[in-house]
Structure 1
Amino acid sequence: MTSPTALAGPRHACVIGAGIVGAATAHALAERGWRVTLVDAHAQPGRGESLGNGAQLSYSYVEPLATPDALKNLPKWLLLPDSPLRWRPQPRFSHARWLSEFVAACQWPTVRRTSEQLLSLAEESRRTLHRWLAALPGSAEATRHTQTGKLVIYRKPEALAGVQRQIEWQRAWGCAQAIVGADEVRRLEPALAATGGGPIAFGVWTATEEVIDAARLAVLLAQASGATLRLGRPVQRLVRDAAGRVVAAELAGGERIEADAIVMAAGPATVQLLKPLGARPPIEPIKGYSVSLPIVDDAAAPRVSITDNGRKLVHARLGDRLRVAGFAELIGMSRVLPPARIEALCQSVRETFPGACSFDDPQPWTGLRPATPSGRPQVGATRWPGLWVNAGHGALGLTLSCGSASLLADLMEGREPAVDPTAFRVTG
């Protein structure tokens, strides 16, 4: 079925945002014959929210942040000084609306429905990424892409029943996962033999999960797309014609890029750029942190991806560095790097993988993950002709980027997409 908003190619698209979502969108459109201009405020692709993300391609771990368990634990998390979650009230109606919709989404029927939709998009993302990488010689080495498998470790035995239910439910959606005991956890990842932070009760092993450097992947896809790059050039405003169609993006310095389609894939900046049009997409920035540490003892560092469920931290090996990432702060657009957060990440590595890394050059990072209350990204046409959106992926931006890019490109071409587009329609 052809969408009434679809555009017949070949046409010109201006994609705003050269992070992993924008670069993937540029590549998906170029693959379908579009001429693409890729715009970003940074001097290179992947230098914003994609630069230091957790690096895990977690296709089987897409449960949204909004769950009944999260709502139940929220008061405790907000009171703990070292809590993985922080919230600072913002004096904006959009913020209050986001919180209200988040609370409404914290119901198991909603969580299950959202998880099904995200699992479908994640599988499309896996297929698309693998196809792209196979067509680009040397891409695995360039992006540090490996199928390491993923271990989620649990330190509290009482979590087992709930985890068993989740795994059984996800099996119907093609997720091949296994619960393993503490001894098997250490066999799968010997570096966990000396772990601190409390004993390991059990783990969940998913052999098919992967890691990749999001920033390097963004560079690769931007280059492979053949897009005209306008980097280091922030967008000042979107331009409409007399009929109300969005026809151009105006950059700092006055340059105007006219295109048949303008695609907003600018992460949290998407909200600011759409605001003058009267748009209010339900997207809030959720701040996260990471450090990338040099590995000095190969045997003491993990080979598989590790998620510490209790601490809400992820660990991924990228070549000769270990990246540990975590925390979720709903505090506005602040990019300040508090030393306490970085030290908490470093301390986790000291305890979980003692002796594995040097802490002389930790390469700290913070990013603002654009999140919707439900956890579903917004992908598709807006109510303004000529304007499309691919944003709101939250912590799953890397995992879902190639799938959402493929979905958007299909919609822009009027093709029948592989996933249900109504689950990700643009609102606000």
Structure 2
Amino acid sequence: MKVIVLGAGVIGITSAWFLSQAGHEVTVIERAPEAARETSYANGGQISVCHAEPWANPKAPWKALQWLGEEDAPLLFRFKLDWNQWRWGLRFLQQCTREKARYNLQNLVRLGLYSRDTLQALRAATGIEYHQRTEGILHYYTEQAEFESAIPAAKLMGELGLDRQVKSTAECLLIEPALRDSMRPIVGGTYTPSDESGDARLFTNELALLCEQAGVKFRYDCEIAGFDCAGGDVQAVRVVGDHGAESLSADAFVVSLGSYSPLHLRPLGINLDIYPAKGYSATIPVRAEHCAPTVSLTDDGHKLVFSRLGDHLRVAGTAEFDGYNLDLNAVRCKAIIDRVRDIFPNGGDYASAEFWTGLRPATPGNLPYIGRTRYPSLWLNTGHGTLGWTECCGSALAIADLISGKTPEVDFCFQ
């Protein structure tokens, strides 16, 4: 089959890879000049199956209310006269029941475990390098109440097949000695030794090169203008690029456009429950004189993740619901650095930190859209929220199987 993949982020590129490996003729369309220039550019770097808990849970509404008006809050809603934002918010609240939160968690864990296994198999087969680290992920706590609330959550993860271990302060410091310098005492943590971290942008670019070697064609600097439909199906995608305006036909089209997926599909009468969740990151240079962590970390209290990527420390997190606004907020950037300094006073060259913001495609229950639309040739692989790097390989292999007429190996309830 001839397949066109729309989007060259980590989801689009992994989709192109597995579709090509399944024997399809693949073309990737991307508006940027290269792969991984948007949401995949500078994310937190964690392959975090252990942190697959959905945002929508019974505690979420209360926390969101507590943080209203706090410019540096981990979760910030900027309410707008935007029906899509309000509709998304209402559906988010509907997902906050205990039953729905557990259902969503079970599916996220299944997909995450499958995806991590698929990434490891891809790495073994190709030798791809992307500053990967396999020492696990440690969640540390500086507040006793938060640590105590994490213990039953760790037990629940164990019931779902994850080895999430409760660790004392001393054990946390053995896992990551750099935490000894923290100005906020570490009171305990949970540790998942099987989780990983790595540079999603580097991975995506390296896999794009492997795709090219496998025969995948790329059309960069190519804007999507719409779709041509006939007979109840999508026949072509209209694009504008170096060759002017064109209509590109195919047997199947895969939409992996992140937060912009709903905007392109609404003219077709397809309404996706996806809203952009703006995230921030700081990339901090690390030199020999610094004492930066090497194990990937999660600061649950401030909703930040830490990943060592070569000679840099990536710190990312927070969620800001502010439409498609990509302006960097200086207050939120400062809040990240202030927290990092508290935990790692000599963790890196903070004055030279590079800040970035990107839009995560969030669904109300955190489950992505993977599968066919009501148009037989139009498929979705989008809406992964903060877990795109964690779920990319499993999602991509699943969509390749579906397009190839196979049943995916992962037991996952797709949107």
Q: Considering the TM-score relative to the shorter chain, is it more than 0.5?
A: yes
1:126-141 equivalences under 5 Å are: 126-137=116-127, 139-140=128-129
Match of 2:223 among 231, 234, 248: 234
Q: Measure the CA separation in 2 of the matches of 1:96 and 1:159.
A: 30
SS at 1:237's partner residue? strand
Is 1:268 equivalent to 2:259 in the alignment? yes
On the 8 A contact 2:70/2:76 being kept in 1, the answer is no
Structure-2 residue corresponding to 1:394: 385
Is 1:163 equivalent to 2:154 in the alignment? no
Is 1:58 equivalent to 2:58 in the alignment? no
1:160-309 equivalences under 5 Å are: 160-196=147-183, 198-225=184-211, 226-241=215-230, 243-252=231-240, 253-297=244-288, 300-309=291-300
1:13-52 equivalences under 5 Å are: 13-52=3-42
Q: Measure the CA separation in 1 of the matches of 2:158 and 2:178.
A: 28
Is 1:376 equivalent to 2:364 in the alignment? no
Q: Percent identity?
A: 35
Q: Measure the CA separation in 1 of the matches of 2:60 and 2:89.
A: 13
Q: Measure the CA separation in 2 of the matches of 1:63 and 1:392.
A: 15
Q: Measure the CA separation in 2 of the matches of 1:133 and 1:256.
A: 36
Stretch deviating more after TM superposition (97-106 or 354-363)? 354-363
On the 8 A contact 1:144/1:318 being kept in 2, the answer is yes
On the 8 A contact 1:148/1:210 being kept in 2, the answer is yes
Match of 1:367 among 358, 364, 368: 358
Q: Measure the CA separation in 2 of the matches of 1:335 and 1:160.
A: 34
Query: Shift of the alpha carbon at 1:200?
Result: 1.6
Which amino acid is the alignment partner of residue 118 of structure 2? T
1:84-163 equivalences under 5 Å are: 84-137=74-127, 139-140=128-129, 143-163=130-150
Query: Shift of the alpha carbon at 1:348?
Result: 2.1
On the 8 A contact 2:67/2:76 being kept in 1, the answer is yes
Q: How big is each residue's C-alpha offset from its partner over 1:158-178, in whole Å with a ceiling of 9 and x where there is no partner?
A: 234432222112112221121
Stretch deviating more after TM superposition (251-260 or 54-63)? 251-260
On the 8 A contact 2:64/2:76 being kept in 1, the answer is no
| 1:339–1:223 Cα change, 3 Å | same
SS at 1:135's partner residue? helix
Q: How big is each residue's C-alpha offset from its partner over 1:127-181, in whole Å with a ceiling of 9 and x where there is no partner?
A: 11111111113x13xx111102111111222234432222112112221121111
Is 1:311 equivalent to 2:302 in the alignment? yes
TM-score by length of 1: 0.93
CA RMSD of aligned residues (A): 1.4
Q: Measure the CA separation in 1 of the matches of 2:328 and 2:145.
A: 35
Q: Measure the CA separation in 2 of the matches of 1:66 and 1:379.
A: 20
On the 8 A contact 1:154/1:203 being kept in 2, the answer is yes
On the 8 A contact 2:234/2:378 being kept in 1, the answer is yes
Q: Measure the CA separation in 2 of the matches of 1:23 and 1:195.
A: 39
Query: Shift of the alpha carbon at 1:92?
Result: 3.1
**Alignment: residue pair count:** 409
Query: Shift of the alpha carbon at 1:298?
Result: 5.9
| 1:12–1:298 Cα change, 3 Å | farther
On the 8 A contact 2:361/2:382 being kept in 1, the answer is yes
Which amino acid is the alignment partner of residue 73 of structure 2? S
Q: Measure the CA separation in 1 of the matches of 2:65 and 2:27.
A: 46
Q: How big is each residue's C-alpha offset from its partner over 1:325-363, in whole Å with a ceiling of 9 and x where there is no partner?
A: 011011100000112222222222222111221134322
Query: Shift of the alpha carbon at 1:210?
Result: 0.7
Q: Measure the CA separation in 1 of the matches of 2:341 and 2:165.
A: 28
On the 8 A contact 2:71/2:332 being kept in 1, the answer is no
Q: How big is each residue's C-alpha offset from its partner over 1:193-246, in whole Å with a ceiling of 9 and x where there is no partner?
A: 1112x32211111111111111111112222223100011121112212x0211
Stretch deviating more after TM superposition (79-88 or 146-155)? 79-88
SS at 1:254's partner residue? strand
Query: Shift of the alpha carbon at 1:188?
Result: 1.2
Query: Shift of the alpha carbon at 1:186?
Result: 1.2
Which amino acid is the alignment partner of residue 417 of structure 1? P
Q: Measure the CA separation in 1 of the matches of 2:20 and 2:289.
A: 40
Q: Measure the CA separation in 2 of the matches of 1:117 and 1:295.
A: 37
SS at 1:369's partner residue? strand
Match of 1:327 among 318, 335, 347: 318
TM-score by length of 2: 0.95
SS at 2:59's partner residue? helix
SS at 1:60's partner residue? helix
SS at 2:49's partner residue? coil
Q: Measure the CA separation in 1 of the matches of 2:408 and 2:157.
A: 23
Which amino acid is the alignment partner of residue 322 of structure 1? L
Query: Shift of the alpha carbon at 1:283?
Result: 0.3
Query: Shift of the alpha carbon at 1:299?
Result: 5.8
Is 1:12 equivalent to 2:7 in the alignment? no
Which amino acid is the alignment partner of residue 159 of structure 1? E
Query: Shift of the alpha carbon at 1:393?
Result: 0.5
Q: How big is each residue's C-alpha offset from its partner over 1:356-378, in whole Å with a ceiling of 9 and x where there is no partner?
A: 21134322110000010011001
